[in-house]
Each structure stands twice: as C-alpha cells, then as structure tokens.
Chains A and B, each alone.
Chain A
C-alpha cells in the first residue's frame, strides 16, 4: 500500500530504472490527401488534382505521434516536437500534432513538393540542432508512397534505423524494435539515437479532444526556412507526366457457387 502511494507521488520519469534515458522525440509528419479520397489526375496530365480535396496528417505519421506521446506519458521522453516541411497549410497538421499531445511544432516552409532526400536533409539539420533520442516517422506517405525518408535521415545522421515498427521499447541504452517484414516479424536492438518508422500495428492513435484542440492553439509553433537550415532542396527527379491507370471493368454476377466454379473452369480457365 505504501509503495503504491509513493509511486503516485513520484514524477513519471522516476518510475523508470535509473539507466533508462529521458530524451526528446522528434516526430516528422506530412500533410497528405485524406486516405478515403480517390484522387483524379489533372486534364493536362501534369499532376494529381488536389484542389478542394480533404487533407489530413499522413496516417502513418499519426501513429508516429501517438507512439511518441505514449513514450512521454511513460516518462521515457521528456519532450515531443512535431515537424513538417511544406507550405503554410501544413501548420494545420502541426496543430493536430499539438492537440494529440506534442509540446511544440516546427514548420519548415517550402514548396509542397519536396523529395524524400531533401526532406531527410532538412530533418538531418534539425536533428543536429535538437539532438533528439528518437526520430519517429511514418514508414510511407500515402500520396508519394516513397518509403524512403526515414531510412535516408538515418543514413545522413549516422543514426540506427528501426523501420516498419510494430513494437518499440526502450531498454537501458538500447531501443528494441519489432519490425513487420515479408516473412513475419523481426526483432532488433538499436543504439540510440535511432530513427523509427511506424507500421500499422504499432498503436491505435487517439482522437484529439476539444479541450486539447483549444490548448494546442496556444502551444509554440515556429517557422523556419531551408536557408536557415542551410539545405539545398533542389529536386533530382522531374515528373514528366501523371496519368490515370486503366480502370478495371466490373464483370458479371454469378448466382451460386456452382456457377462460379463453372465459369472459373470453363470460361476463365484459371481453376
């Protein structure tokens, strides 16, 4: 009973064994089209038409925010900083991050389209400044689908990388990461600092409550430029055209299983 009361009085940090690190976590988030939107290509085939479509925090980045906030709630992290590179619009997603529990936000003001290598360079410059113990990121942006930025950041900063994470645990000086791989799950141990990229099963992100959304408006949001960070964001790739893939046509309805088997055998020849 006494022990229980004692625990209640201690700050969250002291619940950890002494050798556990208390660190800052940087979370990189991207503003993307909402996952439920089916996009269309502009008539001139120059790009995808994003006018008047709903935008959101990239779902994998939401999972990254949630994980960072949970590490803070466990007393393992001392501060959670969300960062996004993009136009002024991405401040909306940064505010969402703040409402979900991040302490402060950084917007790196650039054109909307910055390639993963350039994003990684911007983040690397921030890592130099902020010295986080963990950088949490999504494994993939659902618009560009690159699955690159986290790994590139790890390369540029010489950090370790735990990609496609479904479980993360700080153990002493190490980070234990369970990864979703093609054959199942893989568990690795990483020296800190580390970059973690999130997979779908890492956690289920919370919703922002109204009071927290209000509170987020007063949390600090700083804007910096690539020039401030000394980073050249010139693209290496040129998009020549964007087209729509051929749409698949709906086929026929079969009345029952026998008809299905018959069609697959006789008509389609695939059984």
Chain B
C-alpha cells in the first residue's frame, strides 16, 4: 500500500496546493496506507523535484522529466502515470483539485478501470471520504471498493504541510512518450503582483454591481493596501469585467481565506459554494435583502462607489 501524490507545479515552482494534497495523503497514511511518494511530471523540472524532497511527510520523490510533459497534456501524461501505477502497485492516487489535475486524473482513473472520488474534504478511512455535492448544500460520505483509490483534494479543507525540513530520496523515472495527438499552442496567463486567489489570506471580490471592468481599480486599490487577492463572481467574468481565472464559486475557484469581502455580489448558491468556508465574510451591497447578507459576519448596506473609496482611505 503506497500513496502517490501527483504534484502541481509549473516546471519551476512547486504549487502550494501540493502541500494540501500531501496533508490529505498523510491522513491516508495514518489510516493505514503505506509510504507517500510524490510524482513530479514535467519538463526541465529538477528545481521542483528538489523542492518536493523537502516537503514534510514525503518518503520519495519520483521525477518524470520529458519534453512531452512540458504542459502536462493529458494524452501524454495519463498513460505514463498509469504505467507507473501498474508497475509499482499504488493503492492511492491523490492530487489537488486544480484545473490540471481535474483534466488528467479522471483519464488516469478510467485507464485503471477505477472510480474517482472528486474534491474530498475529509478522509474517514483508507477507503472512505466525504465530498460536497449540489453546490455544497449536501455532503456525501462515500466508500470505494476499487483496488486503487483515485481522489482529488479540495485544498481549502486540508492544511498545508511544512514545505521545508525533509530530505526525501529522489528517483528519476523513464521519459514519457509524446503520443503525437495533441499539441500545446499558447497560454495567456494573468500576471499580477497580488497574492494568488487559492492561497490568499484576504480576498476582495467584485460582482455585477461593479458595472464595468473600469471600476475594478476601486477594488484593487483596497486590495493593495491590505495585501488581498482580487476575485469576482461569474456575472462579472461573463460580462468581461475581469478574466476567467478570477471566478470564485461552485464552478470556479473554491477559496477559504481568513477574510472575504464580497462587493456588489448578490450571493447566489453557486457563488456561496466557493467562499462560504471563509473565516470572516464581509458583504457590501446596496440591496438590504441580498442573500449574501445571510452568510456575512459583517454586512454593510451601501453604494459600493461610495464605500470602496472610503474603505481604501481607512485601512
């Protein structure tokens, strides 16, 4: 019984989400599964494997370094990981619920002919997990009867383990083949000096009430003063105020910062699903009846165009 954690990274930096999935893997280890291996699949990713080797609880780092894996195309990555799993006999495959893992993990599970348990928030035992369904309005406890358990981990539900202090063995695996059926063309990454949504301590999000992308600087100025990340509702993304990677919610990013400030957001269930586990929630909305106030610790009924500049002044 060995656990394989598939790491999230960009070939240079280990993503903190990996520290959350290692935490879930540690719980599996305590529940009876054996060693904990971390797979770094990428291209020119030696720096990442060195970082993974220092992560607490990791017994071994496996490196699959190959040009075919540079962008982790599912068609190339899945068969390589499946060959590794079949060869080494893993009992659990674990990854954080990032878009890259969501893309490849089910492909791996299907090739293994096993089910996947998505987005777990609790490890009950080596084969039983809790996961939210119906936009977080219900929690299902499910037990897997498959020989290999494939699970993705909701990062907000598991603490990040220590990134330093360990010295795990690093093993280099065979190169993965390019299947020649898919090809990376380009990417448009949002560049920001602000913290990432997924790991920010404070988030301030804007909704349709912002009226236009031109008004987002009102939020950004507050964000910069308090070191916050900026998020958005689906309506704000659909309207083109900000790009897709800002979307918080059931089908966007799931966040749970210490402080979440929702500005001009009504509080639809799909938005709540992505932020209701935040420690403190603030709502600024001009509609006294907006459902967001039902989950807010502090509600301010106000026009955001007046409230935001004041907030910027006072923090």
A219 at the interface (CB under 8 A from B): no
Q: Are A117 and B109 in contact (CB under 8 A)?
A: yes
B34 interface residue (CB < 8 Å to A): no
Q: Contact mask A131-158 → B, CB, 8 Å, 1/0?
A: 0000000011011111111111111100
Question: Once the chains bind, are A264 and B99 in contact (CB under 8 Å)?
Answer: no
Q: B315 an interface residue at 8 Å Cβ cutoff?
A: yes
Q: Enumerate chain A interface residues (CB-CB to B < 8 A).
A: 33, 35-36, 38-41, 48, 60, 115-117, 120, 139-140, 142-156, 160-161, 163-164, 166, 176, 179-191, 199-201, 235-245, 248, 250-254, 256-258, 260-261, 263-264, 268, 270-271
Does B187 lie within 8 Å of A160, measured CB to CB?
A: no
Stretch at the interface among B55-63, B159-167, B238-246: B238-246
Complex: chain B residue closest to A157, CB-CB: B110
Find chain B residues with CB under 8 A from A155 CB.
78, 106-111
Contacts of B269 in A (CB 8 A): 36, 38
Which 8 A-B residue pairings sit nearest by Cβ, starting from the closest? Answer: A251-B297, A151-B106, A152-B110, A155-B110, A148-B106, A236-B115, A257-B310, A270-B259
Q: Does residue B80 face the partner (Cβ distance < 8 Å to A)?
A: no
Are B106 and A237 in contact, CB atoms less than 8 angstroms apart?
Answer: no
Distance, CA A139 to CA B202, complexed state (A): 29
Cβ-based interface call for B83 (8 A): no
Q: Could you list some 21 contacts between A and B, CB below 8 A?
A: A35-B270, A48-B137, A145-B132, A148-B109, A187-B187, A188-B183, A188-B185, A191-B182, A237-B145, A238-B145, A242-B141, A243-B138, A243-B141, A244-B137, A250-B296, A253-B301, A254-B298, A256-B300, A260-B300, A261-B315, A264-B259
When each residue 170-196 of chain B gets 1 if its CB lies under 8 Å from chain A and 0 otherwise, what string results?
A: 000000000001111111111000000
B305 within 8 A of A: no
Docked Cα-Cα span, A153 to B280, in Å, equals 41
Give Cα A36–Cα B250 distance, bound, in whole angstroms: 13
Check A248 against B110 for contact (C-beta < 8 Å): no
Q: Is the CB of A156 within 8 A of B110?
A: yes
| New contact pairs (10) apart from A151-B104, A155-B78, A264-B280, CB-CB < 8 Å | A117-B114, A152-B110, A179-B99, A240-B128, A240-B142, A242-B140, A248-B294, A248-B295, A270-B202, A271-B259
**Given A41-B138, A48-B138, A244-B138, are A163 and B103 neighbors across the interface (CB < 8 Å)?**
yes
Across-interface contacts of A250 in B (CB, < 8 A): 293-296, 299
Which residues from chain B contact A263 at a C-beta distance below 8 Å?
298
- Whether B271 is near chain A, meaning CB under 8 Å from some CB there, is no
Whether A116 pairs with B298 at a CB distance below 8 angstroms is no
Contact residues in A for B135 (Cβ distance below 8 Å): 142, 145
Beyond A142-B250, A161-B75, whether A242 also contacts B139 by CB under 8 A is yes
CB–CB B116/A200 < 8 A: no
